């Protein structure tokens, strides 16, 4: 009887944790899908809405580490000055985990289809935190 009760409690706890993670996972995927739509509409300002608007935001790319929302935004504007350079973005989601409450870690792949400039693709890792009830990217490592 005790084993049955213990199994039931563990199953209940696991199901509850999964349901919460599924909701959070869906919220993050929704934001990423919105980012793709904004990018493909040429709207870098709207694309940036998923990022934490803080000087502590960290972006790691081939040029090194950039700190701060404004600096990250300015770098996007500099690297992607027109629609031809921006291309058409798509994301592939490889793995998402929740290492602790209010923290998510995502590994994915991006592809930019750019007929005039040549395609670009690579991998990214995103560290997300739930801040004021909204998931925000706090660290982006794209290569």
pLDDT of residue 28: 98
Distant-in-sequence, close-in-space partners of 68: CB < 8 Å, separation ≥ 6? 54, 55, 56, 57
Q: CATH code for 22-142?
A: 3.10.450.50
pLDDT of residue 20: 58
* End-to-end Cα, the chain, rounded Å: 54
Q: Write the Ramachandran bin of 68: left for phi over 0, alpha for psi from -120 to 50, otherwise beta.
A: left
pLDDT of residue 21: 80
DSSP letter string, 64-82: EEEESHHHHHHHHHHH--S
pLDDT of residue 98: 96
pLDDT of residue 51: 98
Beta bridge pairs of residue 80: none
pLDDT per residue, tens digit, the chain (143 aa), is 443 333 333 333 343 444 458 999 999 999 999 999 999 999 999 999 999 999 999 999 999 999 999 999 999 999 999 999 999 999 999 999 999 999 999 999 999 999 999 999 999 999 999 999 999 999 999 99
Give the predicted TM-score (pTM) of the model. Answer: 0.85
- Enumerate helices (H) and strands (E) in the chain, giving the number of each: 4, 6
pLDDT of residue 84: 96
Helix (H, G, I), strand (E, B) or coil at 86: helix
Torsion sign, CA atoms 69, 56, 28, 84 = positive
């Amino acid at each position: 009887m005790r084993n049955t009760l213990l199994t039931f409690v563990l199953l209940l706890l696991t199901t509850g944790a999964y349901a919460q993670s599924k909701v959070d996972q869906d919220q993050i995927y929704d934001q990423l899908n919105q980012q793709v739509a904004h990018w493909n509409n040429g709207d870098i300002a709207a694309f940036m809405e998923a990022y934490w608007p803080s000087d502590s935001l960290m972006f790691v790319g081939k040029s090194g580490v950039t700190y701060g929302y404004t600096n990250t935004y300015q770098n996007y504007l500099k690297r992607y000055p027109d629609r031809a350079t921006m291309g058409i973005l798509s994301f592939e989601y490889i793995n998402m985990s929740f290492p602790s409450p209010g923290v998510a870690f995502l590994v994915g792949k991006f592809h930019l289809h750019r007929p005039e400039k040549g395609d670009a693709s690579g991998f990214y890792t995103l560290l997300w935190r739930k801040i004021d009830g909204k998931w925000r990217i706090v660290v982006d490592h794209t290569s």
